[in-house]
Amino acid sequence: MRIEYQGGKTYLDQVPYLEKILKCFGMADAKAAQTPLPTGYKPEPFDGTAMVALRSQYQSVIGSLLYLMLGTHPDLAFTVTQMAKFAHNPLEEHLLKTRHILRYLASTRKYALVYDGRSDAGLYTYCDSSYGDDRSDADRRHQSTQGYYFSLVNASVKWHSKTQTLISTSSTMAEYIALSDCACDCAWYKILFSELGKPMPYVPIYGDSHGAIFNAQNPVTQKGIKHIEICYHYIQEQIEKGEVKVFAVPTTENVADMFTKNLGPTLFLKHRKQLGIEFYPL
């Protein structure tokens, strides 16, 4: 990871590593791609058994992409975690789609994660889920995907994208679980900042599901949510204790949307700006 300062901004990138893997996979001069995956693409699992050579090639691409994603690429969080699910049994098509991700990376290689010291924005988080749209499971169970990211000085410091392990019966339930997981990370941030002698009053969470927010703020037992496991009521307790506050935003403004589904270029590029990824002429 490379750290640079310029005009009160901190730039974080992995360009030397990125250049190395682009060269290694023969994509150094690849054609540009606006988004990591083609619009509307949903990967399907492979019923057969993958060839050993293909599998090992796929795993090495995914490994490199995961490292980039975890380091400085919140824009790849959804894409790479989704594609990584097929690492044990990939199709030729999955490998082709990782080429698309590399094309996207090649065209954004001059971008860095920028922490703008001139902004005084504190810590906040956006949380979202997408109900029952996961097709990657070998048994074709329709799980939901959840995602959230934390932002400090207007750039992402932590991101998360994951397929939920249990089946939700409604989008409200999927969102409620996402909020609860997000609250766990809020708690970690609260501990971190109080240990640094900078305690925060509360962490604001932005979500777009009015149903889930209502259920989190009001300990009601409704039909839609009464079967939910106890551990997911963590969000209720955290709100009650005043550790977090949940606010509603319109779906189109919810940046965390890009951590739960494969967005088209318009929304993707709009949300990416909020993550603090900026063009950085080196």
Partner 1 sequence: MNVRDWTTKDIGKLKAEDQRAWRKAQFEELEALKKRNVYELADLPPGCKAIKNHWVFDLKSDGHKKAHLVAKGFSQIEGLDFDEIFSPVIQFESVRTILALAALEKWKIEGLDVKSAFLYGMLDEELYMEQPQGFKVPGNEHKVLCLKKAIYGLKQAARAWWHELDQSLKALGFSCLYADAGIFVAKHADGTMVIILVYVDDIILTGPNTTLVASKKKLFMDNGNAVT
Size of the site for partner 1 (CB under 8 A): 31
208 in Cβ contact with 251 (< 8 Å) = yes
CA distances from 274 to 138, 216, 248, 267 (A): 34, 26, 17, 11
Q: Using alpha carbons only, give the angle 124, 17, 116 rounded to the nearest 5 degrees.
A: 30
Please give the full DSSP string across 20-37, using - where no structure is assigned: HHHHHTT-TTPPP-SSSS
- Enter the tokens of residue 105: 């990376």
3-state secondary structure of 195: helix
Strand partners for 147: 128, 161
| Under rule CB under 8 A, residue 184 binds partner 1 | no
**Site residues (CB under 8 A) for partner 1, limited to 132-151:** 150
Shortest distance (Å) from residue 145 CB to partner 1: 20
Tokens 């310029």 correspond to what residue?
6
The correct pick among 115, 126, 234, 268 for binding partner 1 (CB under 8 A) is 115
Nearest residue (CB) to partner 1, 160 versus 271: 160
Tell me which amino acid residue 236 is.
Q
| Under rule CB under 8 A, residue 219 binds partner 1 | no
Shortest distance (Å) from residue 137 CB to partner 1: 28
Q: Which stretch binds partner 1 (CB under 8 A): 34-42, 185-193, 223-231, 244-252?
A: 185-193
| Under rule CB under 8 A, residue 247 binds partner 1 | no
Shortest distance (Å) from residue 126 CB to partner 1: 15
Nearest residue (CB) to partner 1, 80 versus 113: 113
The correct pick among 28, 152, 166, 269 for binding partner 1 (CB under 8 A) is 152
The correct pick among 5, 23, 39, 248 for binding partner 1 (CB under 8 A) is 5
Q: How many angstroms separate the CA atoms of 67 and 83, rounded?
A: 14
